[in-house]
A and B are shown apart, each in its own frame.
Chain A
Amino acid sequence: MSQASCPSCAAPVKFRGASSVVAVCAYCQSTLLRDGARLEDIGKQSELLEDASLLQLGAEGRHRGVHFGVIGRIQYRYGAGVWSEWYLLFDDRRDGWLSDANGNYVITYLRPPPEVPAYESLKIGDKLTFQKQQFEVTNLEQATVVAGEGELPFKFGSGWEAPVADLRGEHGRFATLDYSETPVRLYVGEQLPFDTFGFSGLRDPKSGGKSTAKARAFRCVGCGAPLEKKLASTEAVGCGSCGTIMDVTSEDIQILSAATQHEREVTPRFALGSRAVLQGAAHEVVGYMRRAMTADGINYEWGEYLLHNHEKGYLWISEYQGHYNLIRTAANTPRQKPSLGPQQLSYLGRTFKHFQTCVATVTYVAGEFNWRVKLGDEVNVHDYVSPPLMLSCERTDSELSWSLGEYTEPEVLWRAFRLKGAPPPKVGIAANQPSPYEGRPGRYWRWYAVALALALLVQIGFSLSVDSRPLAELRGAAARGRPFESTTPPFAITGTRPRPVGMSIKTDVDNSWIAVNAVLTNTQTGDAFIVGREIGYYSGWDGGESWSEGDRAALVRFPQVPPGTYTLTVDIEAAPDAQRQFTAAVRVYRSPPRWLNLVLLLSLLLIPPVWVTIRAAGYETKRWAESDHAPETDDDE
Chain B
Amino acid sequence: MHRLYILTALLSLGAFTYGQYQGVSLFDSEEGVQKGRTSSLSSRHK
A interface vs B, CB < 8 Å? 440, 443-444, 447-448, 450-451, 454-455, 458-459, 462, 485, 497-500, 517, 519, 521, 526-533, 556-560, 569, 571, 591, 593-594, 596-598, 600-601, 604-605, 608-609
| A208: min CB distance to chain B, Å | 60
B30 partner, pick from A559, A600, A604, beta carbons under 8 A: A559
A526 partner, pick from B13, B27, B28, B38, beta carbons under 8 A: B38
Known A454-B13, A528-B35, A597-B19; contact A447-B28, beta-carbon cutoff 8 A: no
Q: How many angstroms between the C-alpha atoms of A498 and B23 in the bound complex?
A: 8
Are A500 and B23 closer than 8 Å at their CB atoms?
A: yes
| A459: min CB distance to chain B, Å | 7
Q: Which residues of B contact A497 (CB under 8 A)?
A: 22
Instruction: Across the interface, name the chain B residue whose C-beta is closest to A532.
Output: B32
Q: Which residues of A contact B24 (CB under 8 A)?
A: 559-560
| A253: min CB distance to chain B, Å | 60
Query: Could you list some 16 contacts between A and B, CB below 8 A?
Result: A447-B9, A448-B9, A451-B9, A458-B13, A458-B16, A517-B45, A529-B35, A530-B35, A531-B32, A533-B32, A559-B23, A560-B24, A593-B20, A597-B16, A598-B16, A608-B8
Q: Which residues of A contact B30 (CB under 8 A)?
A: 558-559
Known A532-B32, A597-B20; contact A455-B13, beta-carbon cutoff 8 A: yes
Are A528 and B16 closer than 8 Å at their CB atoms?
A: no
Known A519-B41, A521-B38, A559-B23; contact A447-B2, beta-carbon cutoff 8 A: yes
Instruction: Across the interface, name the chain A residue whose C-beta is closest to B5.
Output: A608
Are A556 and B32 closer than 8 Å at their CB atoms?
A: yes
Instruction: Across the interface, name the chain B residue whose C-beta is closest to A500.
Output: B23
State the total of A-B contacts with C-beta under 8 angstroms: 102
Q: How many angstroms between the C-alpha atoms of A526 and B39 in the bound complex?
A: 8
- The dominant DSSP class at the B interface is helix
| A74: min CB distance to chain B, Å | 59
Please encode chain B, from 1 to 35, with 1 for each CB lying within 8 Å of some chain A CB and 0 for all others: 11001101100110011011111111110101111
Are A530 and B41 closer than 8 Å at their CB atoms?
A: yes
Known A444-B5, A451-B13, A604-B12; contact A559-B38, beta-carbon cutoff 8 A: no
Q: Which residues of A contact B28 (CB under 8 A)?
A: 500, 557, 559, 594
Instruction: Across the interface, name the chain B residue whose C-beta is closest to A447.
Output: B6
| A237: min CB distance to chain B, Å | 51
| B9: min CB distance to chain A, Å | 4
A596 partner, pick from B27, B38, B44, beta carbons under 8 A: B27
Q: How many angstroms between the C-alpha atoms of A462 and B26 in the bound complex?
A: 17
Instruction: Across the interface, name the chain A residue whose C-beta is closest to B33.
Output: A531
Q: Which residues of B contact A521 (CB under 8 A)?
A: 38, 41
Are B45 and A571 closer than 8 Å at their CB atoms?
A: yes
Q: How many angstroms between the C-alpha atoms of A455 and B15 in the bound complex?
A: 11
| A93: min CB distance to chain B, Å | 61
Q: How many angstroms between the C-alpha atoms of A459 and B33 in the bound complex?
A: 26
Q: How many angstroms between the C-alpha atoms of A326 and B37 in the bound complex?
A: 83
Are B6 and A591 closer than 8 Å at their CB atoms?
A: no
Q: How many angstroms between the C-alpha atoms of A601 and B25 in the bound complex?
A: 11
| A570: min CB distance to chain B, Å | 11
Q: How many angstroms between the C-alpha atoms of A189 and B36 in the bound complex?
A: 94
| A573: min CB distance to chain B, Å | 11
Are B13 and A601 closer than 8 Å at their CB atoms?
A: yes
Are A601 and B32 closer than 8 Å at their CB atoms?
A: no
Q: Which residues of A contact B33 (CB under 8 A)?
A: 529-531, 556, 558
Q: Which residues of A contact B36 (CB under 8 A)?
A: 527-528, 530
- The dominant DSSP class at the A interface is mixed
A459 partner, pick from B20, B22, B40, B44, beta carbons under 8 A: B20
Q: Which residues of B contact A530 (CB under 8 A)?
A: 33-36, 41, 44
- Give 8 new A-B contacts, CB below 8 A, not counting A521-B41, A556-B33, A598-B16: A462-B20, A528-B40, A531-B34, A596-B27, A597-B25, A601-B12, A605-B9, A608-B8
Are A458 and B32 closer than 8 Å at their CB atoms?
A: no
Are B16 and A499 closer than 8 Å at their CB atoms?
A: no
Q: How many angstroms between the C-alpha atoms of A443 and B9 in the bound complex?
A: 13
Q: How many angstroms between the C-alpha atoms of A569 and B17 in the bound complex?
A: 34
| B38: min CB distance to chain A, Å | 5
Q: How many angstroms between the C-alpha atoms of A597 and B34 in the bound complex?
A: 24
Q: How many angstroms between the C-alpha atoms of A448 and B30 in the bound complex?
A: 33
B25 partner, pick from A443, A528, A594, beta carbons under 8 A: A594
CB-CB nearest 6 A-B residue pairs: A530-B34, A559-B28, A500-B23, A593-B20, A451-B9, A594-B25
Are B19 and A591 closer than 8 Å at their CB atoms?
A: no
Q: How many angstroms between the C-alpha atoms of A147 and B18 in the bound complex?
A: 87
Are A596 and B13 closer than 8 Å at their CB atoms?
A: no
Instruction: Across the interface, name the chain B residue whose C-beta is closest to A485.
Output: B45
Instruction: Across the interface, name the chain B residue whose C-beta is closest to A466.
Output: B23
Q: Which residues of A contact B27 (CB under 8 A)?
A: 594, 596, 600
Q: Which residues of B contact A593 (CB under 8 A)?
A: 20, 23
Q: How many angstroms between the C-alpha atoms of A209 and B28 in the bound complex?
A: 93
Are A527 and B35 closer than 8 Å at their CB atoms?
A: yes
| A559: min CB distance to chain B, Å | 4
Q: How many angstroms between the C-alpha atoms of A451 and B2 in the bound complex?
A: 13
Are B2 and A605 closer than 8 Å at their CB atoms?
A: no
Q: How many angstroms between the C-alpha atoms of A594 and B40 in the bound complex?
A: 31
Q: Which residues of B contact A500 (CB under 8 A)?
A: 23, 25, 28
| B35: min CB distance to chain A, Å | 6
Q: How many angstroms between the C-alpha atoms of A597 and B1 in the bound complex?
A: 26
Q: Which residues of A contact B35 (CB under 8 A)?
A: 527-530
Q: How many angstroms between the C-alpha atoms of A609 and B26 in the bound complex?
A: 24
Are B12 and A605 closer than 8 Å at their CB atoms?
A: yes
Are B20 and A600 closer than 8 Å at their CB atoms?
A: no
Are A526 and B21 closer than 8 Å at their CB atoms?
A: no
Q: Which residues of B contact A455 (CB under 8 A)?
A: 13, 16
Q: How many angstroms between the C-alpha atoms of A136 and B41 in the bound complex?
A: 94
**Residue among A443, A498, A500, A593 with the highest chain B CB neighbour number at 10 A:** A593
Instruction: Across the interface, name the chain B residue whose C-beta is closest to A601.
Output: B16
| A517: min CB distance to chain B, Å | 8
| A9: min CB distance to chain B, Å | 77
Q: Which residues of A contact B9 (CB under 8 A)?
A: 447-448, 450-451, 605
Q: Which residues of A contact B16 (CB under 8 A)?
A: 455, 458, 597-598, 601
**Residue among B5, B19, B23, B24 with the highest chain A CB neighbour number at 10 A:** B23
A462 partner, pick from B21, B37, B38, beta carbons under 8 A: B21
